[in-house]
Amino acid sequence: MLNGERVFLVGGNLPWINYAYDFGNNQWAGVKSRVEDEMKLLRDAGGNTMRIWIHVQGETSPKFNADGYPIATDKEYTLISDVKDMLDLAQSYDILVVPTLWNNAVDQDIHGHMEGLIRSTWKLQYYVNVVLQPLVEAVKGHPALAAWDILNEPEGMLIPGVSDPDPCYDTVKLNDSGAGWAGKRYSFREILRFINWQASTIKQEDPEALVTVGVWNPKSSTNSFSLVNHYDDNCLIKAGYKSLGTIDFFEFHTYSWEGKFDGVSPFKHDYEDYGITKPIVIGEFNEADGGGKTYTQLFDYAYRHGYAGAWSWSLIKNGTQLREGISHIRYYSGNGKMDIDL
């Protein structure tokens, strides 16, 4: 909802210009013009939302000490001003931004910075105190801030096939699912605590904020189809003990394999099929792995089947065709407006 009206969040991923080197340490100034170009093109096509990555795996922010504790937002202390300026820029083009803080889809954590935050509550507490809380405080209420995305594709580094008496932590059903492709390093207990603490910090500082997590596939996020929703309120609170640390909407990613979507893909189902009472955004998809569908057909499907939004991958690589798909649905009605004014 925006200003009392239902909005369909339509747009794309602009995850990075320089991978992990866009924010903090005076890096934003070097990529700002390219991001602005993409915001203008997206707005002209009828889009309203952009998903952008911040820390990735801690390559340049936050600043860590030799023991792996976050001690500052970044070495040059520009992270907060960089993010604020990015949001100001987005507002000028009526674009909503979803900052994605961390990434589990690859394993480039050679310094163990992100691993420390996932495994150690002491290090995670330093991060939320020294980095996240000041960042949220600085941008809370910004008209261009749509939601916080805590972690991209947590399942990339999840350990599948683990039996646990608690369904929240049991990953037997995810064995041979593809989970763990980037390295089988973390339990669901560790991942859910990592999310819970950050979500709680955001909501303590900004009670109006929305929080999500970009899951790799609905297989980890629904109780339908004989699966387990590991990201429901119960699991997140149980893992981290913080009652505010829940997500407000689900974000499913979906790519076809050998030309076909799997049986739980959102492009094979209606929103209601997942049995989830919170909204669902299709947060990543593309035409190359689109099950034979064009961008136009994919955006059309997302709008007409009850989803709350669709963000394709990616504006840099597939921008022209992606924007054509957005333009095709820009005047649709019945599942939220797309023309917004910030």
**Active site residue ranges:** 153, 284
Residue with tokens 């022209």: 320
Helix (H) or strand (E) holding 112, with range, is none
CB neighbours (10 Å) of residue 141?
8
CA distance 54 to 24: 9
215, β-bridge pairs: 252
SS3 105: coil
Helix intervals (H) in 110-164: 113-119, 121-127, 133-139
Q: Write 336-339 long-range contacts (CB < 8 A, 24+).
A: 336/5, 336/6, 336/7, 336/8, 336/308, 337/5, 337/6, 337/7, 337/8, 338/7, 338/8, 338/10, 338/46, 338/47, 338/48, 339/46, 339/48
User: Alpha carbon 340 to chain centroid distance?
Assistant: 21
Containing 144, the helix (H) or strand (E) segment is: none
Token pair recorded at residue 187: 């339990």
Are 36 and 336 in contact, with CB atoms under 8 Å apart?
no
User: CA-CA distances (angstroms) from residue 194 to 35, 71, 117, 201, 222?
Assistant: 29, 18, 7, 11, 20
Question: What's the CA gap between 88 and 70, in Å, rounded?
Answer: 27
Q: Are 54 and 101 in contact (CB under 8 A)?
A: yes
Give φ, ψ of 8 to 5 degrees. -95, 120
Tokens encoding 310: 């669709």
